[in-house]
Amino acid sequence: MEKKNLFFIELCTICLVIILISFGIFPRLAWAEFNENQSRKEEIILKIKEVNKNLKNDIKYEKYCRLACAAFPFYRGTNYLFWDDFSEDNRLNEFSSEQTNIWISGDLHVDNFGTYNNDENEVIFDLNDFDESVIADYQYDIWRMATSIILSISNSHPTALNADKKEKIADVIDKFIESYLDTLAEYQGNNDETDTYFTKDNTDGKIKDLIEYTEEISRKKLLEQWTRNEKDKRRFKTPEERDELEIVSPEEKATIISQMIAYDNTLTGKLKYDENYFNVKDIASRLKAGLGSLGTPRYYILIEGKSDSLEDDRILDIKRQRKPSPYHVFNSTEKATYDKLFDNDAQRHAIAYRALIKHTDDFLGWMYFSDKNGEFSGYYSVREISPNKASLDEIEDKEGNVFNFANAKQSDLLEIAKLWGKILATDHARADKDFEEKYIPYSFEKEVIQLTNGKHKEFRELVKKVAFAYANQVESDYDGFLEFVTKLKQEKQMTNCPKCD
């Protein structure tokens, strides 16, 4: 009888803990550091298969091939694993409070910084991906970014680092974090963050070089890259000319065109809808784009622009948005708040973009499409394709060598890390009540400064402890995924993958 009662009490206790966790009352435990046992491998493979189960086999296996290239692309393309592992990790508590939630990237890594033009026609260097952006604790961005620094500099092999290389990477992370905290302190008691953004005038080194390089890229070159002239009319290139494009069905084309006027209601920049300016000249389906989002329905729309000239046509990027990875690990209260704040996920994408970035794309907005079988139904984000879009790995030195984090000079890495920290702090700080109190009704930087005051070293040590351990975990998870892909090839479910970039 006593054993039955004891069992009943233990069962009730377990149920109570589960309920408390789901409502965010009881914190989840920290991610268990470095786990390479078989059950972890099986869980990772099951999760990857679940996330990609609705993709057609050819797209799914193309995605698997890209993830199999190295541990860093694997990390980039499986953001949901990061959120599964770190959601409400209790190590966040020391430097967090109810007022350290802010608009975050949600998927921050070294390749999600880059150049593009703003609505002032300036080329800036900043965050460039908002598909996973949510309101959550700021440390998620810092932890994910720090892990990516390790993976990129170690060339995806963090477990093989010697002591000297590990120390140098730790210095880069320290520079990134200290720059972040110092920049937040600079914004306390003023609104300078609302006017600050990063161009060639306030950057140095490799990033300034990248901005100056991309400033030379014209809209004409972008149009030549994706379109062709056909009897004095500009059209998208055929799939034979550009295999990343596919001809859309008449149903898709009619649906998209019919939504152009409704799209006007979502514009918040200087542009107002004009039927001549937004006249749709052609539409193509965009293939092979992204990594984590590979297989997501996406379209390019060619519109007229200011005049009848073929040289000022614009290309809009239309991408279906989904619930971001963090949403799936939110507790019920957090999910309810999200659902109340946003009418749809494409709207959330646009708001995040405007919150985090100064002088956002004038074409930023969203659309809704529906079709009979639901294949491409959903809310789609809209933004212009920038002719100046580029990342650090696209710049060459005087000898013609492409920039590579694994081979970069330590002085360059430290300079880049300092700017990463400055940019992230600026974006986080401007996304609080300075943007819109409906979302963040407090001063974010003031709270973080109070929590970290006199504890910068402890903050840095925590980030490095988390990031180095998790980089090792990512490499282990990647090795397990590689075994899975190898087995698929042996079973003839997958053909050999093309050569990785």
pTM over 0.75: yes
Comparison of pLDDT for 8 and 177, the residue scoring more: 177
Predicted confidence (pLDDT) per residue in 413-437, tens digit? 999 999 999 999 999 999 999 999 9
DSSP characters for 312-368? Answer: G-EEEEEEE----GGGGGS-HHHHHHHHHH-SSHHHHHHHHHHHH-SS--TT-EEEE
Share above pLDDT 90 across residues of the chain, in percent, rounded to a whole number = 83
What share of the chain has pLDDT > 70, as a percent?
93
CA-based nearest residue to 124, from 219, 212, 186, 218: 212
**Is residue 26 classed exposed, middle or buried when 0-12, 13-18 and 19+ CB atoms within 10 A define those classes?**
middle
Which among 154, 32, 35, 36 has a CA at the least distance from the CA of 86? 32
pLDDT digits (tens, 9 = 90+) for 98-124: 999 999 999 999 999 999 999 999 999
Q: Residue 33 — pLDDT band, cuts 50, 70, 90?
A: low
